[in-house]
Chain A
């Protein structure tokens, strides 16, 4: 089916997130306004105004009531999804990047970038049921990895936190004590910056994408490498289909090195791979800049991609998609 082009951002997209019901799509971009859309027809519902810098990441609570966003303005903000009202602001000494609600939405993990003399850090915040009681204090601060931490998510039962970033190492931390539990085997790990990380629906495994032109599938509990998907371009975004055994990799040549002669040279495609066989099964073209964000609708019947070109493209799959045999 023809993709729906959603033009609401004026700057490159950074992140996309569906709510659990799959009816809302949240998009973050380098302009300062996270936006919510109807996931079905791409109509814009509204924006969340208040940030004063690029917004890198967001997460929405299970009941679709709360939104958390991390921004380069050195804050992470909690929003009322429905009203667009700012509920709380977490202030940091450096830009905030990744945000993720825990199971039960009582905790959130927020990463901050290295900035001036401040090193990168992973902060765990308690999220109060009532925004009136919300405090800015961190329950836990994890430090250690060199360089930016591009993504941090909760492990099973909120017992661990998984982080990945510029140093190309995936780490698993104890979310209670802050102890580093595991690092991935450097032999098989990524060779360059890990740009993205996506968990499976049940949280049992996750997919990482890296500038080393590959994506890797890992077991969440043991950090065992299960699969590797090799592509021709740096990977900026990854997503896993909740329905089929498919993974999608998005990326493309870095915008600063793209040739101006031919749009194809950048390979700004969302590439579909068979999750098990690790073979490429198809690609979705359309963006004219690298793909920075990918998200699957929880029903697995549509996905959206956000590009450096400022567009969100919402794709509903044709029925043949569900009968792909290789």
Chain B
């Protein structure tokens, strides 16, 4: 501390070397950034040093309350129990455990003090064990030792807290109140991210908000469309607002790679994987779950990627995203992840495991939530070389009660598809044939909402058919399957598409086939979000073939092509659909907007096109009855919009005419100007050409000359018949 001076010292030194301090403007002295020359900024710090050290000295101590009161003979046992609990969290210092005794009874007082090596450990211990249930009557109450001062200051008399004035936030759902009922979309190209209105009437997008370098990797809408999330090196951020995009919240998570919202957009899961500094170490994976509105970390998970790698006993390398799958519904009550032989289900009230333990499921391969209910579907493959059958079971959470189970034999693989209302579950089962040389596919269809959950088996007419794609009609009871003959899957480029209904006219409880379309150039299915219509798309190998199909009438509405299209996205209302070519291809980057029935509205070309996302809409608040009523009286309701459409189209054609007229006039002006100049220069030009006159060749006159040529003449005697 010798080189630290107090002001008194400074005065003394100044006097010694002859500087008049009153003449010296100390404020004008600037130290280089980050350099203090060992001078502590405030004089008081010098006198407070000891105190602050004292403060730090207590911040690594916690007080654990609500311990059992035990006599002296059990003291050691209790100490061991406590030490065992806390040594998992951090290192307890030597002599860091102190449990006082009541001098009268010689029993413990029901609390103890623990000193950790670092304040961080103490903090963590407090977080982890506050509320820890030692047994029924002893639930830990853990506090930081430092907080006790604060607790002592709590006045005995309760005073009502001062209520802060309410500052109304912006209406984050303003975009839904757009007068023209348009939808928004976000596109990312080059370094720019842009939010646009899809102005289908004007056949062009209308800019809403644009920002360069808005995100460092990608953007994502929250599931109800309230927020737009951007991803940065330091973490993620969400944006929203009424008339523009303001940053609403930041979520610090360095090197974040992936993000995922809970379906009710209450929580945000962020994921990062850190390259180890030592190559022998495994990567470290960090997953944080944030509360979207407060920005608080609700729970974090850390570990090696293997801990989060999903799938069976063998373990598939790599982490499949999302690691945590959210139960359906808007409440965001449960989320689950699969581990080796377990499924861990967490609830969001406490962010801890339901019933404090994971569900043990030997060898579980895959699971998925019903989109609406807290029901889990899991798939367990065959065990013991076929001795134990594979099974698919439905488990109700939080009771963890098995609702339904189906055993399956000689299964090679299983895929689960939920219908969006959670009414049906289709399980695609690939089974080995008897020879085990090849597989064939069947479907197990569960009717979740019916009593006892009946299961039906559906097999394709041609047993050899391979399934290329499967899709449920959203909110509906139909599904579509693309299948093609397995035996020549490679050289048969035209698969078939079949439509099935879970209800049929005569027998509501049976699945029936509606139709099969033969030889289509399609490999992907895109149902309209409102059902009824579907796009049969041939992406990749088929170069972007599109067929707009009406499933109600079983007829094709239009066929089209968006050459090289890579992505297809319906807008949330099912009125428009976008097809996009993203930068996986070098050329053609951009997107097309179509009507639901396949009319191309407009195309936008953007080089280095990365992302196209419609802004989702929250579900409608209309009752099903009201919706039905609107559907019935659609004519009445649509009248208003038709009139508007017409106005716009008249306006547009008017505008177009006007624009053309302007352009023509402008052009005429140029031409007149040129003609004049040309005329002026005529003489000079003539001289340049050695007096050869005539510019007139330059103005070409087209003359039509007809030339008739007789190629040959043949005389023939034609036999005359009577």
A interface with B by C-beta (< 8 Å): 20, 62, 102-104, 106, 156-158, 201-202, 204-205, 219, 221, 226, 232-233, 242-243, 245, 253, 257, 261-262, 264-265, 267, 275-278, 298-301
A202 lies within 8 A of B678 (CB): yes
B685 lies within 8 A of A103 (CB): yes
> Does B563 make an interface contact (CB < 8 A)?
yes
Partner of B688, one of A158, A233, A276, A278: A158
Q: How far is the CA of A296 from the CA of B667 in the complex (A)?
A: 21
Partner of B543, one of A205, A262, A267: A262
B203 to chain A, nearest CB (A): 14
Within 8 A of A (CB), among B94-149: none
Partner of A103, one of B677, B678, B688, B697: B688
A256 to chain B, nearest CB (A): 11
Q: Which residues of B contact A219 (CB under 8 A)?
A: 670
Q: Which residues of B contact A276 (CB under 8 A)?
A: 663-664, 667
Q: Please, what's the 1-or-0 string for B509-549, where 1 marks a CB less than 8 Å from any CB in chain A?
A: 00000000000000000000000000000000001000000
Partner of A205, one of B563, B664, B674, B684: B674
Partner of A298, one of B543, B588, B678, B700: B700
Q: How far is the CA of A158 from the CA of B688 in the complex (A)?
A: 9
Q: Which of A221, A265, A275 has the most CB of B within 10 A?
A: A265
Q: Please, what's the 1-or-0 string for B589-612, where 1 marks a CB less than 8 Å from any CB in chain A?
A: 000000000000000010000000
Closest to B664 in A: A276
A232 lies within 8 A of B587 (CB): yes
The 6 nearest A-B residue pairs measured at CB: A204-B674, A104-B688, A276-B667, A104-B689, A103-B688, A202-B678
Given A156-B677, A278-B663, A299-B700; 11 other pairs, CB 8 A cutoff = A62-B689, A201-B699, A204-B677, A232-B588, A243-B700, A243-B702, A245-B667, A261-B543, A264-B543, A265-B588, A298-B700
Q: Which residues of A contact B690 (CB under 8 A)?
A: 104
13 A-B pairs (CB sep. < 8 Å):
A103-B688, A156-B681, A157-B684, A158-B688, A204-B678, A205-B670, A221-B677, A226-B670, A243-B700, A257-B586, A276-B667, A278-B663, A299-B702
A309 to chain B, nearest CB (A): 19
Q: How far is the CA of A158 from the CA of B681 in the complex (A)?
A: 11
Q: How far is the CA of A91 from the CA of B670 in the complex (A)?
A: 41
Q: Which residues of A contact B688 (CB under 8 A)?
A: 102-104, 106, 157-158
Q: How far is the CA of A267 from the CA of B543 in the complex (A)?
A: 14
Closest to A245 in B: B667
A42 to chain B, nearest CB (A): 19
Q: Please, what's the 1-or-0 string for B655-666, where 1 marks a CB less than 8 Å from any CB in chain A?
A: 000001001100
Q: Which residues of B contact A158 (CB under 8 A)?
A: 688
Closest to B590 in A: A232
A277 lies within 8 A of B660 (CB): yes
Q: Which residues of B contact A202 (CB under 8 A)?
A: 674, 678, 698
> Does B448 make an interface contact (CB < 8 A)?
no
B interface with A by C-beta (< 8 Å): 543, 563-564, 586-588, 605, 660, 663-664, 667, 670, 674, 677-678, 681, 684-685, 688-690, 697-700, 702
Q: Which residues of B contact A226 (CB under 8 A)?
A: 670
A300 lies within 8 A of B700 (CB): yes
A290 to chain B, nearest CB (A): 12
Q: How far is the CA of A221 from the CA of B678 in the complex (A)?
A: 11
Q: Which residues of A contact B586 (CB under 8 A)?
A: 257
Q: How far is the CA of A102 from the CA of B697 in the complex (A)?
A: 17
Q: How far is the CA of A204 from the CA of B681 in the complex (A)?
A: 11
Q: How far is the CA of A262 from the CA of B702 in the complex (A)?
A: 41
Q: A157-B681, A264-B563, A265-B588 are in contact. Are A301 and B702 (CB under 8 A)?
A: yes
Partner of A265, one of B587, B660, B685, B700: B587
Closest to B589 in A: A232
Q: Which residues of A contact B543 (CB under 8 A)?
A: 261-262, 264
Q: How far is the CA of A102 from the CA of B684 in the complex (A)?
A: 13
Q: How far is the CA of A106 from the CA of B699 in the complex (A)?
A: 23
Closest to B561 in A: A264
A157 lies within 8 A of B678 (CB): no
Closest to A232 in B: B605
B710 to chain A, nearest CB (A): 20
Q: Which residues of B contact A278 (CB under 8 A)?
A: 663
Q: Which residues of B contact A262 (CB under 8 A)?
A: 543
Q: How far is the CA of A277 from the CA of B699 in the complex (A)?
A: 23
Closest to A262 in B: B543
B674 lies within 8 A of A242 (CB): no
Q: How far is the CA of A156 from the CA of B693 in the complex (A)?
A: 17
A218 to chain B, nearest CB (A): 11
Q: How far is the CA of A261 from the CA of B678 in the complex (A)?
A: 51
Q: How far is the CA of A230 from the CA of B699 in the complex (A)?
A: 29
Q: Which residues of B contact A257 (CB under 8 A)?
A: 586
B332 to chain A, nearest CB (A): 45
Closest to B688 in A: A104
Q: How far is the CA of A69 from the CA of B43 in the complex (A)?
A: 87
Partner of A277, one of B663, B685, B689: B663
A297 to chain B, nearest CB (A): 10
Closest to B668 in A: A276
A103 lies within 8 A of B670 (CB): no
Q: How far is the CA of A202 from the CA of B677 in the complex (A)?
A: 10
A136 to chain B, nearest CB (A): 23
Q: How far is the CA of A172 from the CA of B684 in the complex (A)?
A: 20
Q: How far is the CA of A233 from the CA of B684 in the complex (A)?
A: 41
A281 to chain B, nearest CB (A): 13
Q: Which residues of B contact A275 (CB under 8 A)?
A: 667
Q: How far is the CA of A102 from the CA of B690 in the complex (A)?
A: 13
Q: Which residues of B contact A300 (CB under 8 A)?
A: 700, 702
Closest to A212 in B: B607
A20 lies within 8 A of B563 (CB): no
A316 to chain B, nearest CB (A): 13
Closest to A242 in B: B700
Q: Which residues of B contact A106 (CB under 8 A)?
A: 688
Q: How far is the CA of A137 from the CA of B67 in the complex (A)?
A: 107
A158 to chain B, nearest CB (A): 6
Closest to A253 in B: B587
Q: Which of A20, A219, A232, A253 has the most CB of B within 10 A?
A: A232
Q: Which residues of A contact B674 (CB under 8 A)?
A: 202, 204-205
Q: How far is the CA of A110 from the CA of B700 in the complex (A)?
A: 29
Q: Which residues of A contact B663 (CB under 8 A)?
A: 276-278
A250 to chain B, nearest CB (A): 16
Q: How far is the CA of A106 from the CA of B689 in the complex (A)?
A: 9
Closest to B702 in A: A299
B698 lies within 8 A of A201 (CB): yes
Q: Which of B564, B588, B670 has the most CB of A within 10 A?
A: B670
Q: Which residues of A contact B563 (CB under 8 A)?
A: 264-265
Closest to A107 in B: B688
Closest to A203 in B: B678
Q: Which of A62, A219, A276, A277 has the most CB of B within 10 A?
A: A276
B706 to chain A, nearest CB (A): 14
A13 to chain B, nearest CB (A): 22
Closest to B678 in A: A202
Q: How far is the CA of A256 from the CA of B242 in the complex (A)?
A: 48
Q: Which residues of B contact A245 (CB under 8 A)?
A: 667
Closest to A297 in B: B700
A265 lies within 8 A of B605 (CB): no
Q: How far is the CA of A190 from the CA of B688 in the complex (A)?
A: 33
Q: Which residues of A contact B564 (CB under 8 A)?
A: 265
Q: Which residues of A contact B684 (CB under 8 A)?
A: 157
Closest to B698 in A: A201
Q: How far is the CA of A257 from the CA of B585 in the complex (A)?
A: 11
Q: Which residues of B contact A264 (CB under 8 A)?
A: 543, 563
Q: Which residues of B contact A301 (CB under 8 A)?
A: 702
Q: How far is the CA of A204 from the CA of B678 in the complex (A)?
A: 8
Q: How far is the CA of A277 from the CA of B662 in the complex (A)?
A: 10
Q: How far is the CA of A221 from the CA of B670 in the complex (A)?
A: 12
Q: Which residues of B contact A233 (CB under 8 A)?
A: 587
B585 to chain A, nearest CB (A): 8
Q: Which residues of A contact B700 (CB under 8 A)?
A: 201, 242-243, 298-300
Q: How far is the CA of A243 from the CA of B564 in the complex (A)?
A: 37
